[in-house]
């Protein structure tokens, strides 16, 4: 996965601990581009 961009202040809205992942949910102003390699997703 790749991320690129410029964001303003980041506001954490949720933090969830799961058996196989730490999930962080946040909000920010600005622009963000994300790419996901579908072949690497389980």
- 1 — pLDDT class (breaks 50, 70, 90): low
CA–CA separation, 42 vs 13, rounded Å?
A: 26
The domain limits of the chain are 2-37
Contacts of 13 (CB under 8 A, 6+ apart): 25, 26, 27
The predicted-structure confidence for 12-42, as pLDDT tens digits, reads as follows 899 999 888 899 888 877 777 778 777 776 6
Global pTM value: 0.41
């Amino acid at each position: 996965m790749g991320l690129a961009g410029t964001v303003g202040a980041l506001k954490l809205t949720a933090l969830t601990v799961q058996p196989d992942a730490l999930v962080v949910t946040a909000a920010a102003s600005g622009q963000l581009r994300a790419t996901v390699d579908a072949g690497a997703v389980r």
